[in-house]
Amino acid sequence: MSGIAIKNVSKAYGPVSVLEDISLTVEPNECVAFLGPSGCGKSTLLRMIAGLEDVDAGEIHIGDRRVDTLAPGARGVAMVFQHYALYPHMTVADNMAFGLKNIGVDKVEIVRRIDEAARILELSDYLDRKPEELSGGQKQRVAIGRAIVKNPDLFLFDEPLSNLDAALRMRTRLELAQLRRRLKATMILVTHDQVEAMTLADRIVVVNDRRIQQVGTPMDVYARPANIFVAGFVGSPPMNILKTEIGESGGFVVARLGGRAVATRVGASGLPQSTHWRVGLRPETVAVVAPGAGDLDAQVEFVERLGERTLVYTKLADGTPMTAEDAGISKVRMGDTVGLNIDAGTAHIFDGNGTAYHTDATE
């Protein structure tokens, strides 16, 4: 499989800039997820790689070939869309064979490729069925099979699971992960679903405001977000991000929350001058305890019971919202006063520009 090099790529529709100066390298056999909110440009970037959108500036290379000047069919890519786009009057086998017939692949070779793809995707018993006889997950596997038979250098997935219900999405996500291990293929996945990105990708590319905000492994992006956007976007529920004033004690930042000083493990030296500081705390680092027994007291606004854990949405005395976590079997009710025990050693600090500062990894 081939790697990808995207070099200083930009795209605009008339006066509206969609992507600006995007550069990225994807290694052979790597799975990379483009993650971001709707309208951030991630699907446009995928479509430029596929050749479905023109590149206004920059270059795209797949392996040792520059492809942004080539027609889509000459790029060696296969794309799986959000919508299955299967021909309803054709069988599964005919749907998978259609593209190969159009480019004149030998009939024997077509049968061989379809049989192999069907074996990989566990579709061998469905080759004579038509799309109306298939479940949503089976239809998506047929769409993936149509891509596999092309023997592409690169697989492109554009929101492939978004049309499935929650249970089917989970099963199909597992199937995609298993498929990727079997194919050992280079893949790019576009999604707004962070669970898909975190579970399927070797690296995540977070896109927003026309630019790449951060590139890293799933846990790097989660544990050490580059800026306040990534911190708030990656994680469910989102990170608590609160206005604060900061000081220093023992070389570390001290943040004020709800009128109380909370010591972090973020180094104080080298921080820029800023008058608009914020502190970030993941909900799992804020534990519900008895009133008066924690760092702060808060009033419970809403309780979300998830079985293995309980999310408690609270409001501090100054009106600041704070999401905390309690045990799965929690007695907390709306309107209660609770204590919040903060693991401030895990806190993140953000300056006025939104740049993040983290606990020293060696601490």
pLDDT tens digits, one per residue of 179-235:
777 777 899 999 988 888 998 899 999 999 999 999 999 999 999 999 999 999 999
Average pLDDT across the chain, whole number? 90
pLDDT score recorded for residue 363: 41
Distance CA 39, CA 50 (A): 18
Distance from C-alpha of 126 to C-alpha of 25, rounded to nearest angstrom: 38
Kindly list the distances between the CA atom of residue 50 and the CA atoms of 74, 79, 153, 268, in Å, as whole numbers in the listed order.
Answer: 10, 7, 11, 46
Structural domains present in the chain: 4-232 (3.40.50.300), 238-357 (2.40.50.140)
Query: Could you tell me if 254 and 247 are in contact, meaning their C-beta atoms sit under 8 angstroms apart?
Result: yes
Number of Cβ within 10 Å of residue 69's Cβ equals: 12
Residue 25 has pLDDT above 70, yes or no: yes
Rounded CA separation 287/290 (Å): 10
